[in-house]
């Protein structure tokens, strides 16, 4: 069983590394961002509550987020482990997760923090383009589509996600600094934190992540 949490600022590469870890270890990626965006698209009760907050670049209340994570971890595909991407974001969320896992007789095995300077994060996020149809993600310079502005998979016109606009990026970085930074010492005190330099190639960063998961600090 492999129970892993990925930490890092928006644009640090959590999503990219999560997909690689899912393939290697055969565990599901649980991204609260994806779950929330799907709820907004489907107009669920959760989506109706979270949608206005997300549009304004605000954090969704802990009770909503913790509730959907708790239910997700009870599903059968989490039996062999899980990978949490983008959650927890605050110490209260981490405490709530710890309690929920304890009730299920489970623990977190490791917390991997991807460390990336803010200037590089801005360059990554502001150059990102997404397909509103299939969810594919591109970058204007690092991984552009074959045809500018068009998704390689289904030919849909690419968009800039609302969260990837300059004003939202600065707000999210500020919130990350104010709230999420407190998570590092919290997890470190429990002997769970593994820091990884996230500035290299996706392949190089992945090798480092696997090394700290399988070989310790």
Catalytic choice (19, 161, 165, 171): 161
Catalytic choice (37, 124, 168, 172): 172
- In angstroms, the Cα distances linking 63 to 60, 72, 96, 112, 184 are 9, 14, 9, 24, 22
The per-residue pLDDT for 100 is 87
Our answer to whether residue 14 is catalytic in this structure is yes
Residue spans of the chain under pLDDT 50: 217
The per-residue pLDDT for 217 is 44
Count of C-beta atoms within a 10 Å radius of residue 46: 19
Tens of pLDDT, residues 23-51: 999 999 988 877 788 778 888 887 788 88
Our answer to whether residue 165 is catalytic in this structure is no
Q: List, in order of start, the domains of the chain with CATH numbers.
A: 2-117+179-215 (3.40.50.300)
Helices (runs of H) and strands (runs of E) counted in the chain? 9, 7
Our answer to whether residue 161 is catalytic in this structure is yes
Our answer to whether residue 89 is catalytic in this structure is yes
Tokens representing 129 are: 């383009």
How much is the pTM? 0.77
């Amino acid at each position: 069983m492999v129970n892993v949490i990925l930490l890092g600022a928006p644009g640090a590469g959590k999503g990219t590394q999560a997909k690689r870890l899912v393939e290697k270890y055969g565990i599901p990626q649980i991204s609260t961002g994806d779950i929330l965006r799907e709820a907004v698209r489907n107009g669920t009760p959760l989506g109706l509550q979270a949608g206005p907050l997300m549009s304004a670049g605000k954090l969704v209340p802990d009770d909503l987020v913790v509730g959907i994570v708790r239910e997700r971890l009870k599903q059968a595909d989490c039996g062999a482990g899980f990978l949490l991407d983008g959650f927890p974001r605050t110490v209260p969320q981490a405490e709530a997760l710890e309690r929920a896992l304890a009730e299920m007789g489970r623990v977190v095995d490791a917390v991997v923090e991807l460390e990336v300077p803010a200037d590089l994060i801005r360059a990554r996020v502001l150059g990102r383009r997404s397909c509103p149809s299939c969810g594919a993600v591109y970058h204007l310079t690092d991984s552009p589509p074959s045809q500018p502005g068009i998704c390689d998979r289904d030919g849909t016109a690419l968009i800039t996600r609302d969260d990837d606009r300059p004003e939202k990026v600065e707000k999210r970085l500020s919130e990350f600094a104010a709230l999420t930074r407190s998570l590092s010492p919290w997890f470190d005190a429990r002997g769970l934190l593994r820091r990884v330099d996230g500035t290299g190639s996706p392949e190089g960063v992945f090798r480092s992540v696997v090394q700290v998961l399988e070989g310790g600090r």
